[in-house]
Homo-oligomer: A and B are copies of this chain.
């Protein structure tokens, strides 16, 4: 399910595809991509941040995407450089170039003979790889690709044009929208962590909700999204969730919110749209975070937030000896 260069573009063809101006040799072939420092003959590279300008002037790449204003500097560039593409936003242009140079390989609908598919499941137009189990009444949309070793439990519904990488487990009645991407090892729809204290110990509370995921959502490798206790756990359209993230039962994640790796969100917390949570942030349960909030990496959020902005809760890092003094003074100061 990976990508690779399928056909070499010339610099001219790429300029045309991106709709940008070209200086230099339109016929030079692009045979790979690389960062400025490690690029070599045949490579396309790009300059987006001015602080890398020196590296760009010294690159061994054959073709360079540069900001429009930099045309003159690189026209004279000489050296290895054979052609420059002038782009309003080179990092966007480079992403577009990657999509052209490394298109997702097309695939035909098919069902691996080594898969076990319930006869009541619907999967017209999907590709089902080896060792996939699909339960009763599940449905997979056309153009979706289910990688090897996935399980899709009874009643689960996956939209069209999704890519489910190998080893993903999708629980009963979970719903995924269209064009979702789920990386390997993710578990969507496991039981929420619901137990009641009794005299005989913890008693499991049946988790009878499910998970509902909107269109264009990406879920990272080994991330877990628990099914709701009564209600559903909901992830809004366009949300992007990195690896090893825990989304507990009944959480609601707003549209276009981005959650970095190792984040944990405890049960029933509602996070607004367009938020950004830094790596290893932890959000307590039953909170409400409004739209457009940025949480710094490593920050524990212990109370609701109703004003957009950036919030932080991180002990400043120092050498260990210095830290010992700070920690001691902190303790003293409180007496």
Is A165 an interface position by the 8 A CB rule?
A: yes
Say how far A264's CB is from chain B's closest CB, in angstroms: 4
Instruction: Determine the residue in chain B with the shortest Cβ distance to A163.
Output: B191
Is A213 an interface position by the 8 A CB rule?
A: no
**Contact status of A264 and B262, CB under 8 A, knowing A205-B98, A231-B35:** yes
Instruction: Determine the residue in chain B with the shortest Cβ distance to A189.
Output: B2
Q: A256 touches which one: B183, B201, B205, B320 (CB < 8 A)?
A: B201
Is A75 an interface position by the 8 A CB rule?
A: no
Instruction: Determine the residue in chain B with the shortest Cβ distance to A274.
Output: B201
How far does the alpha carbon of A131 sit from the alpha carbon of B296 in the complex, in Å? 42
How many interface residues does A have (CB within 8 Å)? 117
Decide: B246 and A244 in contact? CB cutoff 8 A.
yes
Decide: B330 and A303 in contact? CB cutoff 8 A.
no
Surface stretch bound by B, among A8-16, A18-26, A66-74, A216-224? A216-224
How far does the alpha carbon of A1 sit from the alpha carbon of B153 in the complex, in Å? 8
Decide: A190 and B261 in contact? CB cutoff 8 A.
no
Residues of B contacting A224 with CB < 8 Å?
A: 185, 220-222, 243-244, 261
Question: For chain A residues 267-285, which have a beta carbon within 8 Å of chain B?
Answer: 278-280, 282, 284
What is the 8 Å Cβ interface bit string for chain A, positions 37-54, against chain B (1 contact, 0 not)? 010000000000000000
Instruction: Determine the residue in chain B with the shortest Cβ distance to A228.
Output: B35
Decide: B196 and A91 in contact? CB cutoff 8 A.
yes
Question: For chain A residues 98-157, which have a beta carbon within 8 Å of chain B?
Answer: 98-99, 101-102, 112, 114, 116, 129-131, 133, 147-149, 151, 153-155
Residues of B contacting A184 with CB < 8 Å?
A: 151, 169, 171, 187, 190
Residues of B contacting A102 with CB < 8 Å?
A: 206, 208
How far does the alpha carbon of A236 sit from the alpha carbon of B96 in the complex, in Å? 32
Between-chain CB contacts (< 8 Å), 10 pairs: A1-B172, A34-B231, A133-B148, A165-B169, A166-B169, A201-B238, A220-B224, A222-B224, A314-B315, A322-B334
CB-based closest 3 A-B pairs: A2-B172, A298-B300, A313-B317
> A248-B261, A312-B320 known; 11 other A-B pairs, CB under 8 Å?
A33-B230, A98-B208, A99-B206, A114-B114, A133-B149, A181-B191, A202-B258, A224-B261, A282-B297, A312-B317, A330-B330
